[in-house]
Amino acid sequence: MNRKQPACSFVEAFRHSAPYIHAHRGRTFVVSFTGEAVADDESFPALTHDIALLHSLGIRLVLVHGARPQIERRLQQRGIELQYANGLRITDDAALECVKEAVGTVRVEIEARLTTSMAASPRPGLRLGVSSGNFVTARPLGIRDGIDYCHTGEVRRIDGEAIREELARQRIVLLSPLGYSPTGEVFNLHAEEVATAAATELRADKLILLVEGRGLLDGRRRLIRQLDPAGAEAVLAGRRRLDEDMRRHLESGLTALKRGVRRVHLVGRAVDGALLQELFTRDGAGTLVTAETYEGLRQAGIDDVGGILELIEPLEAEGVLVRRSRELLEMEIDRFMVMERDGMIIACAALYPFGKVGELACLAVHPDYRSEGRGDQLLEAIERRARQQGIQRLFVLTTRAAHWFQERGFRRGEVGDLPVRRRSLYNYQRNARVLIKPLDGAR
């Protein structure tokens, strides 16, 4: 067997997922999906199988389902029209009966699907427990602007203690878009509101909203990978018209973040396995909304040495970078800046000062994250640092990337242009090109 042969895609994917498997174990995730997802006979069995897999990996799951198409179908069958006012549903007595029937049927179907999914588990005899009940206390919307919303309600309280007890018993908790009052009334709720309230009450690590279509897209129909709360607010306030369902999901996610949920994920359910991709790959398959730093540029520390080595070793093997030992990196780590993405070092660069001249060294970007401007961000950061240190010229020695640097203001130089100390270390066998850039505004 050739041990140097590249691993198959499954092995590589499994290796990359290992940190996430470890990080997610014991965490609480609230996962919301629509009634359209349940009605999709082609994709829903796969989704429930993926949910069962998450449970088997030790993730504490609270599921919240919708039931809109199922409710609308029953209303149509009985000739009842669901009324809306100011974007809110009006649930009269006749509509409420349809809501209860539809939600009850959907809940039973989900429980049956989850039980079936565990039959495919490699652990014989493993049972998946599902708990559903009156975990949601609700109150009526009441009369607003003269309109009586009847049995349409809003979440008043989530019984977090009872849910935690069920999760501790290794059961999946299933919440429906129904709430109950202390006097025994039943109210029709939005599933997104239930999911947001549950995630808030449980201080969930993640709120995952499975949405219809491809997910949250920008003006060029490209998936938006990441947003902070301010960016999400800008999307909501922007000129581009958002689908009403997507708007509601994004608003719910922002509410959850403001109430203490760490991360919100908007994931298009149309892609098979999107939930697993979102949770077990670094780039995911949807939009992450978080106030935390998911990707950022910072000063390197001693704990980053291993990540830097993993990044640069392939480039050293190709001769693109000069080899650096772990010991040397540890000694020079204060020279480095790194770009980190969800715990992984994906880019780095170093600045070595020689009086008024500085060397830009070890500029490297992970192959998966090139051509997206990260090299430019690192270069700009190194240039800023150089100016702050009074460096007036920056030079780089390169064998493969001369054009890239020249496009960014570097010009050809000679070995004789290098500082004396650096000139004595020049490797003529490597024959790297010398490129120099004056720094405007250096102090």
**Which residues sit opposite 267 in a β-bridge?**
210
Amino acid at 333: I
* Letter string b/e over residues 210-245, b meaning 16 or more CB atoms within 10 A of that residue's CB: bbbebbbbeeeeeebbbbbeeebeebeeeeeebeeb
Q: Are strands 344-354 and 336-341 parallel, antiparallel or unpaired?
A: antiparallel
Distance CA 244, CA 231 (A): 18
Please report the pLDDT score of residue 327 as a whole number: 94
Which residues, 6+ apart, have CB-to-CB distance to 71 below 8 Å?
35, 82, 98, 99, 102, 103
**All structural domains of the chain:** 9-292 (3.40.1160.10), 296-438 (3.40.630.30)
Contact yes or no for 289/264 (Cβ under 8 A) = yes
Helix, strand, coil share of the chain (percent; to 5): 40, 25, 35
Residue 222 structure tokens: 């490209």
Distances (CA, A) of 114 to 25, 44, 46, 52, 109: 20, 10, 10, 7, 9
Instruction: Summarize pLDDT for 46-100 with one digit per residue, the tens.
Output: 999 999 999 989 999 999 999 999 999 999 999 888 788 877 788 888 989 999 9
Provide the pLDDT for residue 149.
84
Rg (CA), the chain: 28
* Residue ranges in the chain whose pLDDT is less than 50: 1-6, 442-443
pLDDT in tens, 221-272: 888 888 888 888 988 888 778 888 899 999 999 999 988 898 999 999 888 8
